[in-house]
Chain A
Amino acid sequence: EAQVTQNPRYLITVTGKKLTVTCSQNMNHEYMSWYRQDPGLGLRQIYYSMNVEVTDKGDVPEGYKVSRKEKRNFPLILESPSPNQTSLYFCASSLQGRTGGNSPLHFGNGTRLTVT
């Protein structure tokens, strides 16, 4: 089954403790992206990757890191999490990064992160 898999689904951690949220897709998609979703603010893009070893900042990259060593994986790293990073995180992928009818986004089921 074609899917984007995120882990973990839920995570509670403390300020400053490094964490990684994994994301993997089995569709051979070139483009992958991370979003956070907050009430009243909608989906905001954190980082994206157009292909292996190519990553770019989105709208809210501060406090986050990503890597794209393999096509299928795109982990999100929080080196020193803070309470304002408490949010619902989504990984998404598409066949190509170019917008338009041929490249819809496929989303994972989300990771709910709480930083105390």
Chain B
Amino acid sequence: TQLLEQSPQFLSIQEGENLTVYCNSSSVFSSLQWYRQEPGEGPVLLVTVVTGGEVKKLKRLTFQFGDARKDSSLHITAAQPGDTGLYLCAGGDIHRDDKIIFGKGTRLHILP
């Protein structure tokens, strides 16, 4: 069974600081998605990465897919209170193209 481990589980930092959260596995994934979930809402897709080594930027957020497609990172520059939320990574199961596997999430709190 493919698993995705996210770290850290919780992160609380001051506004303006930079941070990186990680999504790791010993398995290869066909693609990897990052979602953000805010209280009282469902997860919302931020980005999908497909190619090993791929880097995508979304304003102050930078997403990277590992060369071997086993891990990913999300870097936030100059964090703002609006970045607060639960960040979930989700990988496409390489053995079953109808399966997506979720990590347990990183809960991020940005203090004003």
Contact = CB atoms under 8 A, between A and B. Distances in A.
Given A107-B44, A110-B40, A98 B102 contact: no
Interface in A91-116: 92, 97-101, 104-110
B44 to A, nearest CB: 7
Given A42-B102, A99-B30, A100-B92, A109 B41 contact: yes
Contacts of A104: 33, 45, 48
B79 interface: no
Interface of B is mostly: strand
Interface residues of A, number: 23
A107 B48 contact: no
Contact of B42 (A56, A98, A109): A109
B75 to A, nearest CB: 20
Contacts of A74: none
